[in-house]
Structure 1
Amino acid sequence: MRLLSSLLSSSTLLAHNFTSRLRIPISFQSHNFPRLFSMDSSEASLRNALSQKLSAVEAQGNAVRALKAAGAAKPEIDAAIEALNGLKIEKASIEKQLQAVVSGGGGDGSLNRESFRQTVSNTLERRLFYIPSFKIYRGVAGLYDYGPPGCAVKSNVLAFWRQHFVLEENMLEVDCPCVTPEVVLKASGHVDKFTDLMVKDEKTGTCYRADHLLKDFCNEKLQKDLSISSEKAAELKQILAVLDDLSADQLGAKIKEYGITAPDTKNPLSDPYPFNLMFQTSIGPSGLLPGYMRPETAQGIFVNFKDLYYYNGNKLPFAAAQIGQAFRNEISPRQGLLRVREFTLAEIEHFVDPEDKAHPKFADVANLEFLMFPREEQMSGKSARKIPLGEAVSKGTVNNETLGYFIGRVYLFLTRLGIDKDRLRFRQHLANEMAHYAADCWDAEIECSYGWIECVGIADRSAYDLHAHTEKSGVPLVAHEKFAEPREVEKLVIAPVKKELGLAFKGCQKNVVEALEAMKEKEALEMKAALESDGEVEFYVCTLGKNVLIKKSMVAISKEKKKEHQRVFTPSVIEPSFGIGRIIYCLFEHSYYMRPSKAGDEQLNVFRFPPLVAPIKCTVFPLVQNQQYEEVAKVISKSLTFSGISHKIDITGTSIGKRYARTDELGVPFAITVDSASSVTIRERDSKDQIRVSVEEAATVVKDVTDGLRTWEDVWSTFPHHTSASAED
């Protein structure tokens, strides 16, 4: 549900806390950025070396000019020029090394990030994994069609998601409408706050994302202006690190400071202002019932909580899940599948007793160890490091077992899909990213050619959403715990005096009331003591981004004892939210590689998809155009169909090597080649190894390996090997 700030919109999309989605300003000074990173030591040293070399070149150039002006002897001038040329060569060498570092290339002739991205994208579009929608009409930015192989990959990813989460956890799956009444999204806060900051070309009216323009400026300076100092580079990287937290005024100030203009016309830009990202519509012919295309799927689960709780036997914990389309009217969508206007979300809302967030299956994931990026490491400039999940939970780095359990399950899900575990990290939200009601939030970030991309959000959102819909609808969305015997309990009661708060804060009254009601017991009792002694107290309201003055007449705080026969409470929500398109794009990049053809005269594209997600599991090739071989191929095809294995028969007259290359480019893991009436060969895509099996065994072997019942190494050690020049591409 909330990939926000970076998933499909920098203000929303996967389990990002609602504060970052709503663009709540934070206390920030442009001259005093929090230290969120440290520049790579190699980059810093190269920039310093380049700065020194530039000074040396300038000094030597001045010396050459001085010798010429003084009429020095030719040998002396030639020696000075030779020294100058040597310095220029050294400068060029440092520039090349620095360019390789900042562009993501390895300095050894490997593709840099931009070139790699273009190569992958060209292959994906040419093989119809996805293409721009409405292409013959020049397309619409931010809208894409999945072609046959792309649909198959997406279908396989979603099928595994259902298996890995819905079936494993006995979740309750729902399917809610995309069109949502305004009242629902008013309660959730989307109508008022679901915005990104936009600027306009003051002459043409063309709109741009303000943070994108600043981001592009910083990246371009870092990558192309190699002469900037390490200090200036550090400043630009700091801006990139806090970009999502800048308010409209702060963004506008930076745009003016750096002289950023409209990219196409170079015209001046307006000040940034909020733009609501939801597509508005009306329900019914009268147009009197306003609605929106949903920006996330989670609200449908929250409003159905009461019925789902009843369906589950009035028992907690339980989880509800939904896969569906969501819509964001992006200002200037780009980055292919990473930022689009219509996309697929897969979201889980796990409802749990706020007083007991233990998980019975946490031990299953406690020993997992992977890259984690706690907020302390971020603030101190350190890098992500491998941490055992059990240790992270026991030390309180991860707030509770249930949140930790889902972090572990997300890690297993992504790595089984084929995401490189060394380019996957879990980053904890910083304090200024956290909503006041959130207990803890982590993003699963995957590194690709665009950098670290947030693809899954895992958040403990406390009880905010159910509270919001309870207040707006008047229907209590609560759970019950019946006691065997009545209990005398002491309860904290926080009673904001809305009349007094309304007079004092007017339009901000709701923000102040929510913040007061969300106080923890310790904070509330401290406020009570301060009000009794001083009559007033400063109180920070995070949704306003500032302190307000609370007076004694504005809130009553007390503890009351009463007997209760049952405990009525609003459940907390642990929310894993998956941006399916983003995961798939990162999977494409992580699976892609190139290898030389048999002749060595070209590089061939290969996608190393695991059989789990491969669009086609197997191809069937008659070695040559031969009626008998084609009949055998049809028999094998029927067996594969009966076994539920997606496959394709290729009876074209092209060479077997070219047919292998075509299917490797689609990521097909296995190829069955029919070269006799009784036995066939099975080729594995990445090793290009082949085994020989009988016609009757072929489908069974492919199914066993595809379903994970056997490994390729197992069948390789079981069946005779086949060696043939035609096995090579």
Structure 2
Amino acid sequence: MSTSAPPNATFSRESLEQVLKRRFFFAPAFEIYGGVSGLYDYGPPGCAFQANIVDTWRKHFILEEDMLEVDCTMLTPHEVLKTSGHVEKFADWMCKDLKTGEIFRADHLVEEVLESRLKGDKAARGIAVEAGEEDDDKKKRKKKVKEIKNIKLDDEVVAEYENILAQIDGFSGPQLGELIIKYEIHNPTTNGKLEPPVEFNLMFETAIGPSGNLKGYLRPETAQGQFLNFNKLLEFNNEKMPFASASIGKSFRNEIAPRAGLLRVREFLMAEIEHFVDPDDKSHAKFDQVKHIELSFLPKEVQESGSTELIKKSIGEAVATGLVDNETLGYFIARIYLFLIKIGVDVNRLRFRQHMSNEMAHYASDCWDAELQTSYGWIECVGCADRSAYDLTVHAARTNEKLVVRQPLAEPITIEQFEIEIAKKKFGPKFRKDAGAIEKWLLNRSQTELENFGKELSTAGKISVKIDGVEGETELDTDLIKIEKVKRTEHIREFTPNVIEPSFGIGRIIYSIFEHQFWSRPEDADRGVLSLPPLVAPTKVLLVPLSNSADLKPVVEKVSNFLRKQQIPFKVDDSSASIGKRYARNDELGTPFGITIDFESVKDESVTLRERDSTKQVRGTYEDIIAAIKNITYFGSSWNESTAKLTPFETQATDA
């Protein structure tokens, strides 16, 4: 079944937002108290749509890929997120108006102002600017924003702006500050000057327990719980590698300036996968099944050159040429693509953007974002990164708990490595209560650290180190420790897995699909249609009795009971409105099918089936009609295939 707007259909963000609000897909939380920016409640259709997307995600990934699902707590102790790096680095750059105190997210402000200046330049040159609705914040200050004036820019300045916008995700705070000064970017409302950008940590801080002594945070992602349970998951998987865990749940980020509805919020649903793989073998057993899939890529080199031109090639070619780092990463990129298309994303508004060199996490070997184009621009909705062994390594070092895989070797191997020998008889009396902490610290040093310490011992006769929990510097000489390179025969290979992590922002995906699938009927701009795929549509069937006649009620009840037994979500609309109006208001809800029960139905139990997008109708027994609905919705059959044995039906004014 096709789920896309006809070529002559039109899209209006304003019309879409009216429908989403009126039909209670979602709404600002605490609205009667004035609301809180970045917090939203889902209504019945939005809740059902989200549940269907999550169900599809669970089947597409967890079931098809045989993943291990976990549900971890949302409260996370400070120590865990300090170790993972979130306490130090999980931040965005914000800048403040010196006079009013108004706060802006620096990269968004630069992007917004430069884009508005480019629009003004196009208007001054007489170039048509692509139509698009503005968000509420822009509407409020449009008259005051000087950058929107139709001012012609020099060609060199236009090129500079375009180059900056192509790389906007990669700028550091100081670099954003330089851009704000260079291009005289001020508060768009007051024209007031801004302070230099400063970092703002995005985590919500809290206290665990009544004493308040245990500091914690609401989790900013679902990943850490999966890493900390690695040993349990490996054991549950019978020690077999590779394997993947998955988690679906709420995460929290204290966004600086939430905007654009569900696209930037403070509480949101995530679905994350941690695929643990051998660092020496990142091939994927099922890569051949997806290698033919053609995708649109925006590599880092293209962005760094100031361009946004997409490169189209198969995922097989992308991996073979080194554009995508390895097969497992490529496999998940392709699976992400298939999932997004299945739930209603427009393939022509989907691209995979590679993180630039100055944007990539220091531990990641490659990272791609699935971005969806909306009236707000390109929006990151899924991240897919090779996080190397960073997470397991840092948590193991902090807790002294080995998070490794041990595999028997077919043939023993001889290895050379640095080992530390501790003179325990002297160690205890010298360091007393700190002896245990110092010993644990020493035994958890890497080979590189041991090599460097060994060199220092041989030249200086001692080393001085700072150890957490031990006051002052700890001095260790050759009487206390020895570091030597020794040969050892190994029968077991021990390694820390690397992690491939696909991470999905469900709310962002939901809103993008709304935009991709909403349109107005060409004959009536007020008749909006939400062309959600039947698989994820909140309700699959609208049951419409032709009238309130008592003669029709037994048939309505019979068809309703049959739909319930088939577990197909449906609604009955027996209101006094015309059939056309009843269908029209359910087109807005994304309901893909309508079943009309009329007086012929009383005679022979035949009903009429209407398809939402084309408004085509066919007639048959209610069992055959519902079988067709089930085949289209749950088994991927096309409309033509599923209705081939049904009778085409034409009537006047049904959709009037």
Indicate the TM-score class for this superposition, using the shorter chain for normalisation: 0.7 to 0.9
SS in 1 for 2:653: helix
Quick check: 1:140 aligned with 2:36? yes
1:158-191 CA-to-partner distances (Å, cap 9, x unmatched) read: 0000000000111110001111000100000111
Q: Does the 8 Å CA contact 1:442/1:457 hold for their aligned counterparts? A: yes
- Structure 2, gaps ≥5 residues long: 1-6, 125-151, 421-444, 457-482
Contact kept in structure 1, 2:70 and 2:247, CA below 8 Å: yes
**Other structure's SS at 1:203 match:** coil
**Alpha-carbon distance in structure 2 between the residues aligned to 1:366 and 1:686:** 33
- Please state whether the residue corresponding to 1:467 is helix, strand or coil: helix
SS of 1:349 mapped into structure 2:
strand
Bigger shift: residues 451-460 or 224-233: 224-233
After superposition, the Cα gap between the structure-2 partners of 1:372 and 1:253, relative to the gap in structure 1 and judged at 3 Å, is closer
The equivalent of 2:408 in structure 1 is 482
> Distance in 1 between the 2:418 and 2:580 partners?
75
Amino acid at match of 2:185: I
Q: CA deviation at 1:485?
A: 3.7
| Structure 1 residue 315, shift from structure 2 partner | 1.5
Instruction: Indicate whether 1:352 and 2:277 are aligned.
Output: yes
Given candidates 328, 348, 352, the residue that maps to 2:253 is: 328
Quote the offset at 1:321 in angstroms: 0.2
Kept after mapping to 1: 8 A contact 2:167/2:304: no
In structure 1, give the amino acid aligned to 2:562: S
User: Is 1:683 equivalent to 2:610 in the alignment?
Assistant: yes
Q: Which amino acid aligns with 1:132?
A: P
CA distance in 1: counterparts of 2:419 and 2:612, whole angstroms: 65
8 Å Cα contact 1:370/1:388 also seen in 2: yes
Change (3 A) 1:493 1:220: farther
Using the alignment, how far apart are the partners of 1:518 and 1:673 within structure 2?
Answer: 74
Structure 1 position 714 matched with structure 2 position 641: yes
For 2:596, the equivalent position in structure 1 comes to: 673
Q: Does 1:567 align with 2:463?
A: no
Cα distance between partner residues in 1 of 2:110 and 2:49? 35
Instruction: Give runs of aligned pairs for residues 453-464 of structure 1, distance below 5 A.
Output: 453-464=379-390
Whether the 8 Å contact between 1:153 and 1:615 is mirrored in structure 2 is yes
Q: Distance in 2 between matches of 1:206 and 1:372?
A: 37
Alignment of 1:275-354 (within 5 A): 275-354=200-279
1-side partners of 2:15 and 2:328: how far apart? 41
2:81 to 173, 181, 185: 185
Please give the residue correspondences for 1:622-701 in structure 2 after superposition, counting only pairs within 5 Å: 622-675=545-598, 676=600, 677=602, 678-701=605-628
Equivalent residue of 2:369, what SS?
strand
Partners in 1 of 2:389 and 2:557 — Cα distance? 58
Asked if 1:376 is matched to 2:376, the reply is no
- The separation in 2 between residues aligned to 1:448 and 1:644, in whole angstroms, is 34
Higher helix share: 1
Runs of 4+ in 1 over 6 A off after TM superposition: 108-111, 516-519, 557-560
In 2: Cα distance, 1:129 partner to 1:341 partner: 18
Deviation at 1:412, TM superposition (A): 0.6
**2:323 aligned partner, one-letter code:** T
Residue matched to 1:588: 514
**How far apart, in 2, do the equivalents of 1:331 and 1:567 lie?**
47
8 Å CA contact 2:545–2:574 kept in 1: the answer is yes
Indicate the residue corresponding to 2:360 in structure 1: 434
Does the CA-based 8 Å contact 1:317-1:352 persist in structure 2? yes
2:577 is paired with a residue of what secondary structure? Answer: coil
Correspondence 1:20-419 to 2 at 5 A: 116-225=12-121, 226=124, 227-380=152-305, 381=307, 383-419=309-345
Q: TM-score if structure 1 supplies the norm length?
A: 0.74
What is the one-letter code of the residue matched to 1:160? T
Query: Are 1:374 and 1:428, in contact at CA under 8 Å, matched by a contact in 2?
Result: yes
Q: Letter of the 1:489 partner, please give it.
A: I
SS at match of 2:24: coil
Quote the Cα distance in structure 2 between the aligned partners of 1:558 and 1:659. 82
Superposed CA offset, 1:313-346 (max 9, x none): 1111110000000000011110111100000110
**Residue 358 of structure 1: CA displacement?**
1.1
Task: Measure the CA separation in 1 of the matches of 2:248 and 2:594.
Answer: 33
Give the C-alpha shift of residue 490 in structure 1. 5.0
Q: 1:633-663 deviations in whole A, cap 9, x for unaligned? A: 1211111111111110000111111111111
Cα separation, partners in 2 of 1:169 and 1:493, compared to 1, 3 Å: farther
Q: Residue 462 of structure 1 contacts residue 574 of structure 1 at CA under 8 Å; is this kept in 2?
A: yes
Contact 1:617 1:669 (C-alpha < 8 Å) held by counterparts: yes
What 5-or-longer segments of structure 1 have no aligned partner? 1-107, 495-515, 520-524, 532-556
Query: Per-residue CA shift, 1:74-103, capped at 9, x if unaligned?
Result: xxxxxxxxxxxxxxxxxxxxxxxxxxxxxx
How far is 1:601 from its partner?
Answer: 5.5
How far off is 1:109 after superposition? 11
Deviation of 1:718 after TM superposition, in Å, equals 1.4
Once the two structures are overlaid, the 10-residue window that deviates more, 343-352 or 618-627, is: 618-627
Number of corresponding residues? 566
Q: Compared with structure 1, are the counterparts of its residues 518 and 217 closer, same or farther at alpha carbon in structure 2 (3 Å cutoff)?
A: farther
With over 3 angstroms needed to count, the CA separation of the structure-2 counterparts of 1:375 and 1:263, relative to structure 1, is closer
Give the whole-Å Cα distance in 1 for the aligned partners of 2:97 and 2:609: 59
2:342 is paired with a residue whose SS is helix
Query: What residue in structure 1 maps to residue 441 of structure 2?
Result: none
Q: Work out whether residues 608 and 618 of structure 2, in 8 Å CA contact, stay in contact via their aligned partners in 1.
A: yes
The residue aligned with 1:471 is 397
Q: Is the 8 A contact 2:351 2:371 kept in 1?
A: yes
Three-state SS of the structure 1 residue aligned to 2:629 is helix
Aligned partners of 2:345 and 2:516 also within 8 Å: yes
Work out whether residues 437 and 518 of structure 1, in 8 Å CA contact, stay in contact via their aligned partners in 2: no
- SS of residue paired to 1:198: strand
In structure 1, C-alpha distance between the alignment counterparts of 2:267 and 2:282, rounded to whole Å: 34
Amino-acid identity (%): 52
Q: Distance in 2 between matches of 1:462 and 1:384?
A: 27
Q: Does 1:727 align with 2:654?
A: yes
Amino acid at match of 1:119: S
- 8 Å CA contact retained: 1:636, 1:698: no
Amino acid across the alignment from 2:645: T
Q: For 2:584 and 2:484, how far apart are their aligned partners in 1?
A: 74
SS in 2 for 1:150: helix
Q: Return the letter of the residue paired with 2:637.
A: R
**Whole-Å Cα distance in 1 between the matches of residues 383 and 596 of structure 2?**
44
Please say which of residues 368-377 and 640-649 is displaced more in the overlay. Answer: 368-377
Question: 1:670-702 deviations in whole A, cap 9, x for unaligned?
Answer: 000001312110001111111111134333332
